[in-house]
A and B are shown apart, each in its own frame.
Chain A
Amino acid sequence: KNEVEQSPQNLTAQEGEFITINCSYSVGISALHWLQQHPGGGIVSLFMLSSGKKKHGRLIATINIQEKHSSLHITASHPRDSAVYICAVRFIGNEKLTFGTGTRLTIIP
C-alpha cells in the first residue's frame, strides 16, 4: 500500500531553534515534494527531491532512498516560518501525488 507518514503532527518551538520535520513512505518513489501552506493561504512548493540534499536559504531538505525517509530542516527559525509543512510523494509507476497529513509548525517570538 502506498503510504506517506509525517512526524511530528504539531511542533512548537522558540524563535531561533533548529527545526526538523520527518517524512517516511512505504515503497519506491520517483520524486518527493516538500510544500508549505500558511494559515488560510495557498500552497507553495519548497523542494522537489529524488536523491541527496537541497538547500534554499534557511531551508534544507534531505532524502535517503534506501531508508525511504526525508527530512526538512529549518535553521534559525523565525515566526514567519509558522505554517503547515506537507510532504508529498510520487510513487514509482504512479504520477499522482500522495500527501502526508502535514506538520503544523508554530514559532514563538
Chain B
Amino acid sequence: GAGVSQSPRYKVTKRGQDVALRCDPISGHVSLYWYRQALGQGPEFLTYFNYEAQQDKSGLPNDRFSAERPEGSISTLTIQRTEQRDSAMYRCASSLGRYTGELFFGEGSRLTVL
C-alpha cells in the first residue's frame, strides 16, 4: 500500500504473554519511529531506526520492550511478559529522510492487557 501499515490493529492479551507489533513503512523511507500513546495523552517516543540501525532506544520503558528492523524495512516492536500498564496505542511513523522529511503515521496498534 501507499501508506504506513501496522498490524494487528487491535490486540487483547493476558498479562504475562508476549506480543509482537508490526510496522510496514512507506517503501524507501529511511527513518522509522515507534511511539506510544496512552488514552487522552500525547505521543511518547519509544525508539527509532535509520535503515536497519537502531539509533535511539532511550524511550523504551524497560528491558521487556525491544524493537528490530533487520532489513531496513519492516519493523517489529516486541513486548515480553506484558503488564496492564503496557495497554496503549502503539504508533509507527516513517519519513523519507533522517533529519528532515514529513512524517507519515500508521493507524496504530491498540494493545489491551487484561
Name the prevailing secondary structure of the A interface residues: strand
Known: A31-B99, A95-B31, A95-B98. A42 touches B105 (CB 8 A): yes
Q: Which residues of B contact A33 (CB under 8 A)?
A: 102-103
User: Which among A60-68, A75-83, A96-104 touches the partner chain?
Assistant: A96-104
- Residues A10-46 near B (CB distance < 8 A): 30-31, 33, 35, 42-45
Q: Taking the complex as formed, is A50 at the interface, i.e. its CB lies under 8 A from any CB of chain B? A: yes
A73 on interface, CB distance cutoff 8 Å: no
Residue from the list A30, A50, A90, A101 in contact with B42, Cβ < 8 A: A101
Q: From the candidates B55, B91, B98, B103, name the one contacting A45 in the complex (CB within 8 A).
A: B103
Selecting from B10-18, B19-27, B43-51, B78-86, the interface stretch reads B43-51
Docked-complex contact A48 and B45, CB < 8 angstroms: no
Q: Are A31 and B100 in contact (CB under 8 A)?
A: yes
Minimum CB–CB distance for B34 against chain A, Å: 10
Contact indicator B56/A96 (Cβ below 8 Å): yes
Residue of A whose beta carbon sits closest to that of B93: A43
Contact A95/B99 with A42-B108, A43-B43, A102-B42 known, Cβ cut-off 8 Å: yes
Interface status of B59 (Cβ within 8 A of chain A): yes
Q: How far is the CA of A42 from the CA of B108 in the complex (A)?
A: 7
A residues with CB within 8 A of B: 30-31, 33, 35, 42-45, 48, 50, 86, 88, 90, 94-102
